[in-house]
Amino acid sequence: PQGSEKAKAFVNAFLKRSMPRKKDEAIQDILTRKAVILEHYSKKKAKQKKKKTKGFTAKQRREMRLFEIEPEQQRYAIFLPLHELWKQYIRDLCHGLKPDTQPHMVQGKLLKADLHGAIVTVTKSKCPSYVGITGIILQEFKHVFKIITKEDKLKVVPKLNNVFSLEIDGFISYIYGSKFLLRASERSAKKFKVKGTIDL
């Protein structure tokens, strides 16, 4: 019938427009198998670049004095509650500091622990004026500790060439500052070698 011829011509023309990449033989082959998948060309959307939020540079932080402790806040008594919190944190970290706890296990935990709030004493130093300084660690940087003493004096003590002692519940641990030249965040992921060292 004439209507079927028109329909066939329409379908062929439609498929040719819809699938311009295919040849006539391929289109006829598709028609015989009665499985037609029309090609669709979508416009590629331009990817929008995500803007990264930039933090302050080291210079900007210094200019804004973000890490400076105001003189009126430099009092030992203010930070005693911080020390109590730190002691509880270490007890939880070491699953309770019992008399039969292995010292090397405590030492390993302390090496990676956050020391803000710990009371430390400089026991050895190449600079004699640092020996005997005792106080609460308020800030830890890569190369220095900022310590508040009982006399309400803020001391900046370098880690290099200094040995610090740290006592909690009868456990005394020694920190060799020269091997400790890391930021607190980097230290938590570092593997420390368990072997003796001659520091000073």
- Residue type (1 letter), 44: K
| Predicted pLDDT of residue 33 | 64
What are the residues whose beta carbons fall under 8 Å from the beta carbon of 60, sequence distance 6 or more?
Answer: none
Rounded to whole angstroms, the Cα distance separating 146 from 68 reads 10
| Model pLDDT for residues 63-108, shown as the tens digit of each residue | 887 778 888 888 999 999 999 999 999 888 887 777 777 777 777 7
pTM above 0.75, yes or no: no
Rounded Cα–Cα distance for residues 124 and 172 (Å): 15
Question: Hey, what CATH topology would domain 73-189 get?
Answer: SH3 type barrels. (2.30.30)
Query: Domain map of the chain by residue range?
Result: 1-32, 73-189
- The pLDDT of 177-185, averaged and rounded, is 82
106 to 90, 91, 99: CA distances (angstroms): 9, 10, 12
Q: pLDDT digits over 16-73, tens only?
A: 777 777 777 777 776 666 555 555 556 666 666 676 667 778 788 778 877 788 888 8
CB of 117 within 8 A of CB of 83?
yes
Query: In this model, does residue 189 exceed pLDDT 80?
Result: no
